[in-house]
Each structure stands twice: as structure tokens, then as C-alpha cells.
């Protein structure tokens, strides 16, 4: 399923090893080397057989251990040396995963490269909340957006386009830029009482949910979240999650 000299970009899912696809599991068993991100859950890494060489190329906000060009080069070099290469990425490789750089680097030198999808953080978060990301007639649009900051400044976003009351926003890497997100959306016309859910460590035993509203998002992000990866979900569909709060709030109490 993976030949010598080939690269697979494999989605590791949000952290829970049971959310790894069967295909991903087969690929990590057939690999000779696995290059993985910091976001790949420990439970997933534990599934990698001992004989497979494991290389961390982890990046977490602020702590870049290897830059993207170095990662691209490592993948290409390993493939050209005849290894069976798996590049294991958190969630789905095609969503805010820098896949294109790696695909291009491989293709430029003629290294065969393929993709195995994974469960993305937004899906795991809505599953944990017990809600749907879309709602018939209410949330007709689902937008995946990243509010990654560069040098402390949020990259410019089209707030007017994002401030749609009929959409659900799933904001990746949005923790640090929560104040800009709230201000941008409110200034663009989204009501301050629009429901917001913060989900940290989705699918992991440390999963935590925090329900708030758009105008309170900055303070919630600052005070309610820990060190884990967190996704910000905004929109009416997330408000529906609160209707099912009995089960969730009990779980939250237990998890805290």
C-alpha cells in the first residue's frame, strides 16, 4: 500500500486514536519512517510500531522546531533514499496543514505523493458539543477560517464576508486573536449575543467546552482556556448545543 520512495500525507485526526481511519493505521504500519506534528495525539503515536523510525517535526504556536522548507526537504530526501514515508498531520492534512508545500516539493522532484484524509478539529468539536455545524434553514454555510497571528498581528480577514448570521464559523488557531475576531465580526454587523463555543482538546480525555457569546469571547478565551489546541465555533448552530447542556455540563464537571 505504500511503496519504497513514496510519500503519504496522512491525517491523524483530532487526537483520539479511535478516530484514526483504518487506512491511516495501515499506512503507519507499512511505513519505514513517520514524520509527525506536535498536534498528533500520543494515543496515535502509540500505534506506530517500534521498527518504524519516528521523527518529530512538531510545530506549536510560537515554538517552531523545524521550518516548513526543512520539513519539505526531509520528506523528499527520505523518499529519494528509498524510504516508505508517512507525513502524519493533526486533523485533516488539507485543512490548515501546509500540505500544498509538501505536495509541491515532492512533485517537483518526481516523488509520488498521496493523501489520506482525517477527521478535522471542527468535526470533533461539534461531536463533543453534541451539535451540528449546519442547521437546516438557520446555518446554511460553514466556513473554516484561520485567524493565525503573525508577529502578534492577526492576518487580515474579510470580516464583512464572515459576519453572516446564517453561517457557522469554525476558527482554527484563533485563541490568540480572539479580541480581533470579536471586534471584527461585531463591527461588521454580527450581533454581540451570537453564540460562541470554545472547544479545547476535542476528542481527547482532557476535552473541555466553554459556552459564551461573541462580545464576551475575548475574556473567555483569555480566562477559560488552557494550553491545549482550541477551536472557536461561532453561530446559531452552536447555540443549539446549549439545549443539550445536561449531558455536556455533567461531563464538563467530571473533566474539570
Contact positions vs ligand SAH (CB under 6 A) = 14-15, 39, 89-92, 95-97, 120-121, 124-125, 172-173, 199-204, 229-231
Residue nearest to ligand SAH (CB): 91
- The residue (of 136 and 151) whose beta carbon lies closer to ligand SAH is 151
Helices and strands: H and E segment counts in the chain: 10, 14
Pairing assessment for the beta strands 208-213 and 195-200 based on DSSP bridges: antiparallel
**Other beta carbons within 10 Å of 99:** 18
Catalytic member of 37, 72, 92, 164: 37
CB of 80 to ligand SAH, least distance (A): 26
Is residue 37 flagged as an active site residue? yes
Indicate the SS3 state at residue 82.
coil
Q: Which residues pair with 34 in a beta bridge?
A: 54, 86
Catalytic residue among 23, 59, 215, 245: 59
Which residue, 176 or 186, has its beta carbon nearer to ligand SAH?
176
User: Is 114:6 a contact under the CB 8 Å cutoff?
Assistant: yes
Q: How far apart are CA 200 and CA 10, in angstroms?
A: 22
Catalytic pick from 16, 72, 164, 173? 173
Is residue 59 part of the annotated active site? The answer reads: yes
In the bound state with ligand SAH, the residue whose beta carbon lies nearer, of 83 and 128, is: 128
111: its cell numbers? 516523488
Tell how far CA 85 is from the center of its chain: 22
Task: Tell the smallest beta-carbon distance from residue 166 to ligand SAH (Å).
Answer: 23
Between residues 201 and 212, which has the closer beta carbon with respect to ligand SAH? 201
- Residue 59 CB, nearest approach to ligand SAH (Å): 9
26 a catalytic residue: no
Tell me the closest approach of the beta carbon of residue 55 to ligand SAH, in angstroms.
19
* H or E stretch at 213: strand 208-213
Closest separation in Å from C-beta 60 to ligand SAH: 9
CA distances, 191 to each of 77, 156, 184 (Å): 51, 21, 11
Provide the annotated active-site residues.
Answer: 37, 59, 173
Amino acid at each position: 500500500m505504500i511503496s519504497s520512495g513514496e510519500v503519504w500525507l496522512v491525517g491523524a485526526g483530532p487526537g483520539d486514536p479511535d478516530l484514526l481511519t483504518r487506512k491511516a493505521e495501515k499506512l503507519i504500519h507499512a511505513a519505514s519512517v513517520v514524520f509527525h506534528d506536535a498536534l498528533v495525539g500520543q494515543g496515535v503515536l502509540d500505534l506506530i510500531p517500534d521498527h518504524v523510525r519516528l521523527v518529530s517535526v512538531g510545530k506549536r504556536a510560537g515554538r517552531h522546531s523545524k521550518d516548513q522548507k526543512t520539513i519539505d526537504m526531509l520528506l523528499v530526501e527520505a523518499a529519494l533514499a528509498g524510504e516508505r514515508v508517512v507525513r502524519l498531520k493533526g486533523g485533516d492534512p488539507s485543512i490548515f496543514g501546509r500540505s500544498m508545500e509538501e505536495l509541491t516539493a515532492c512533485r517537483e522532484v518526481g516523488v509520488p505523493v498521496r493523501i489520506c484524509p482525517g477527521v478535522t478539529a471542527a468535526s470533533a468539536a461539534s461531536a463533543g458539543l453534541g451539535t451540528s455545524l449546519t442547521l437546516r434553514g438557520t446555518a446554511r454555510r460553514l466556513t473554516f477560517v484561520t485567524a493565525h497571528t503573525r508577529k502578534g498581528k492577526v492576518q487580515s480577514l474579510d470580516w464583512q464576508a464572515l459576519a453572516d448570521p446564517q453561517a457557522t464559523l469554525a476558527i482554527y488557531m484563533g485563541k490568540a486573536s480572539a479580541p480581533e475576531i470579536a471586534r471584527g465580526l461585531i463591527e461588521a454587523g454580527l450581533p454581540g449575543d451570537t453564540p460562541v463555543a470554545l472547544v479545547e482538546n476535542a476528542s481527547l480525555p482532557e476535552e473541555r467546552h466553554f459556552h459564551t457569546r461573541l462580545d464576551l469571547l475575548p475574556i473567555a478565551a483569555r480566562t477559560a482556556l488552557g494550553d491545549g489546541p482550541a477551536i472557536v465555533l461561532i453561530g446559531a448552530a452552536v447555540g443549539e448545543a446549549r439545549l443539550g447542556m445536561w449531558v455536556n455540563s455533567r461531563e464538563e464537571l467530571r473533566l474539570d
